[in-house]
Amino acid sequence: MSEDAATYKRRAAERAVDLVASGMVVGLGSGSTTLYAVHRIGDLLRTGELTDILGVPTSEATAAEARRLRIPLTTLEEHPSIDVTIDGADEVAPNFDLIKGGGGALLREKIVAQASGREIIVVDESKLSPRLGTKWAVPVEVIPFGWIQEKEFLASLGADVRLRDGDGGTLFVTDQGNWILDANFGPIDDPATLAARMAERAAIVEHGLFLGLATDVIVAGPRGVRELGRSDR
């Protein structure tokens, strides 16, 4: 990551933390951009500028970092309604539809997003896109049993599909023990129809099309930090 890209991500994430208030239940997203927000929350708790925060992490990696920073954690069982979630995205369309899951945490990220009163997405300008699929493949989480049928199904819809590799030549395995198919459809004309088609498949646990879930998008770049309205650029 270039120094500029890292700086932009940090600025966007820290702006999002300005929207967190003491006493909130906060969804803690996954990925490099969101990590800056987690660190900022930890700093504010340590100095006493924030108090009584409870975090709901979207991945085991985020949970481990939050514990290291002494951010108190809770679960959806204990707090089924989340005040605000701060998360990143791989691609953001003008209507705030997203592709997420580049880090493989899309299932928990979507569960937390659906439980959140406010879903704040933080990105650098490179993630903005005129149409989903222009820059990023759609991650599709599948159970290992029957995965090959889902690969063939996605290919029948026009995607170039690859089973995601992990470190050291092993397969990537999600926190739920599933695999990821990265389905490159190119620019997607009708994300809602595609999402519905994938939802019909038994072995597809979840997909990385996050439609209608983001309430805010904060983007940072050479022009500074901006809070977008829908269709702004």
pLDDT for the residue numbered 225: 93
Confidence label for 5 from pLDDT (cuts 50, 70 and 90): confident
pLDDT (tens digit per residue) in 88-139: 999 999 999 999 999 999 999 999 999 999 999 999 999 999 999 999 999 9
Number of H helices, E strands in the chain: 6, 13
H/E segment holding residue 191: helix 191-199
Orientation angle between helical segments 32-47 and 3-17, nearest 10 degrees: 50
Range 58-81 average pLDDT: 97
H/E segment holding residue 15: helix 3-17
pLDDT (tens digit per residue) in 131-157: 999 999 999 999 999 999 999 999 999
Judge: domain 3-128+211-228, CATH 3.40.50.1360. Answer: yes
Is 109 annotated as catalytic? yes
pLDDT for the residue numbered 232: 65
CB 212 within 8 A of CB 119: no
pTM for this entry: 0.94
- Fold held by 138-203: Alpha-Beta Plaits (3.30.70)
Between the alpha carbon of residue 181 and those of residues 5, 99, 155, 164, 200, the distances in Å are 27, 14, 11, 6, 16
Is pLDDT of 233 > 80?
A: no
Q: What are the structural domain ranges in the chain?
A: 3-128+211-228, 138-203
Residues 6+ apart with CB under 8 A from 3: none
Is pLDDT of 31 > 60?
A: yes
pLDDT for the residue numbered 57: 98
Out of 14, 65, 91, 109, which one is annotated catalytic? Answer: 109
